[in-house]
Amino acid sequence: VRLAVSCLLLLAAFAASAAEQSGFVKVEGARFVLDGKPYRFAGANFWYGAYLGAPDGIGDRERLRAELDQLKAAGIDNLRVLAMSEASGFKRGVSPAIMSEPGKYDEDLLQGLDYLLAEMARRDMKAVLYLNNFWQWSGGMSQYVSWATGEPVFDPDTTGDWNGFMQNSARFYAIAEAQAWYRDAIRTVVGRTNGITGVAYVDDPTVMSWQLANEPRPGSDKDGHPNFPAYREWIHDTAGLIRGLAPKQLVSTGSEGAMGSLRDIDLFVQAHRTPNVDYLTFHLWPSNWSWVDHDDPAARLESGLATSLAYIDEHIDVAGKMGKPIVLSEFGLNRDGGAFSPESGVQARDRFYAAIFDRLLQRMQAGDAIAGSNFWAWGGRGRTTNPDWMWKAGDPFTGDPPQEAQGLFSLFDSDASTLEIVSSHARAVRALAP
Ligand SMILES: O=C1NC[C@H](CO)[C@@H](O)[C@@H]1O
């Protein structure tokens, strides 16, 4: 009997250690843990990663491999990637799209996600995959609304009415048919088996987290309050669905924080209290939020930076109170003088990145809930030759999605000074005491 008990104890210990060495990122209190050690990271946004991985014609697998090597060498090994897009009539929507119509998916683009995950796994990188978009550049929620209602898409790039667009997108949360199509898309991606590795996505530790959407908001700041209950319920229900499908991986919302929660941090807390959401996300966009000037980021940089650092501290403090890790999963700043050209200066951006990273590191060193960041966004060797700087189907991809000038926020492979700032931060994060 003693022998049997010792064998059982040995087996239990082995199972526990195997679970610890599973390679999956876990949450323990307000921290991430990976293979028994704290997991903290310096990452990037790479929205088009799956597009680059698509079979040649749409993708560029040589570029993808080369740029994953470049990112890994710089210590940038957590990538936030678009994992579902919807065919749309938007002027500035990406095409082709993964979902051509409700329930129909482009196998080539899904193979692009297979290829990306296989290449990331080979480099021991982690992926955060978002499954929808509050904005129009990948179709997103407003495209679902158009499919469900039969109305033409509400296109902010033709109407200029961004408040109306946000209210229209928020209709998505309460349209049952749109939710059914979205949940089918979730099951299609989350339930997929990688055609290259043969590994089911839910069994692949490369996938750190499934994100409900990119920047989901309750609606416009002015008119969005009546939508908040449906928004909060949508988060709880959708996160619960994904947890059931992928119990080994994490779930997050993709929220911007207070600025994406009707500018109310309490609403952000209320929307993220559900135990179905494992960790918090927030974003930082000083020029989009008018804390800094798009056309001259140096002009109000110091005051914009002070406001930005306060926004960072506020969200890390809230995460600590909620007992959940938090990630700054987007931040960016314009090139000097608001230029787009990769040859233009980035002095203001470098100052901004360095100051943000200093604050994140300081809070990590203090043992606070901040676990990592993903700058927006890796542009690699992507370049445009279009006189209007705008992307069109067939063009190379950059860090700027189709609704923005190709060079607005991209960190190109030629931006050596900024890349060194990120790489230096990555080294400092890795050097942190456990
Ligand atoms: O998710 C996002 N947040 C801000 C980016 C830059 O404006 C934008 O391109 C993207 O939609």
For residue range 81-96, list pLDDT tens digits in order.
Answer: 999 999 999 999 999 9
Please give the distance, rounded to the nearest whole angstrom, from the Cα atom of residue 196 to the centre of ligand 1. Answer: 31
In single-letter form, the type of residue at position 430 comes to R
Residue 69 scores a pLDDT above 70: yes
Q: Tell me, what's the pLDDT at 33? A: 98
Q: Is 45 helix (H, G, I), strand (E, B) or coil?
A: strand
What atom of ligand 1 comes closest to residue 332's alpha carbon?
6
What atom of ligand 1 comes closest to residue 400's alpha carbon?
9
Q: Tell me, what's the pLDDT at 14? A: 65
Extract the tokens encoding 354. 């360095």
Q: What is the pLDDT of residues 328-375, one digit of tens each?
A: 999 999 999 999 999 999 999 999 999 999 999 999 999 999 999 999
Give the residue, 6 or 280, on which the prediction is more confident.
Answer: 280
Please give the distance, rounded to the nearest whole angstrom, from the Cα atom of residue 10 to the centre of ligand 1. Answer: 50
Q: Tell me, what's the pLDDT at 4? A: 78
Say what the ipTM of the complex is.
Answer: 0.99
Extract the tokens encoding 36. 């028994």
Please give the distance, rounded to the nearest whole angstrom, from the Cα atom of residue 402 to the centre of ligand 1. Answer: 10
Q: What is the pLDDT of residues 181-191, one digit of tens each?
A: 999 999 999 99
Please give the distance, rounded to the nearest whole angstrom, from the Cα atom of residue 49 to the centre of ligand 1. Answer: 16
Q: Tell me, what's the pLDDT at 5? A: 77
Name the percent of the chain in helix, strand, coil, to the closest 5. Answer: 45, 15, 40
Q: Tell me, what's the pLDDT at 115? A: 98
Q: Tell me, what's the pLDDT at 31? A: 98
Q: Is 74 helix (H, G, I), strand (E, B) or coil?
A: coil
418: nearest Cα among 346, 356, 342: 346
Q: Tell me, what's the pLDDT at 408? A: 98
Strand partners, 372: 41, 327
Q: Tell me, what's the pLDDT at 265? A: 98
Supply the DSSP string of 239-282, one letter for each residue: HHHHHHH-TTSEEE----SGGGTTT-HHHHHHHH-STT--SEEE
Please, what is the Cα angle at 163 between 161 and 168, to 5 degrees?
A: 95
248: nearest Cα among 22, 428, 18, 44: 22
Residue 317 scores a pLDDT above 60: yes
Percent of the residues in the chain that have a pLDDT greater than 90, as a whole number: 94
Q: In angstroms, rounded to a whole number, what is the distance separating the alpha carbons of residues 96 and 157?
A: 19
Query: Ligand 1: which of 217, 376, 408 to mutate, most ligand atoms within 8 Å of CB?
Result: 376
Extract the tokens encoding 133. 């978009």
Over range 281-306, report the average pLDDT. Answer: 98
Percent of the residues in the chain that have a pLDDT greater than 70, as a whole number: 97
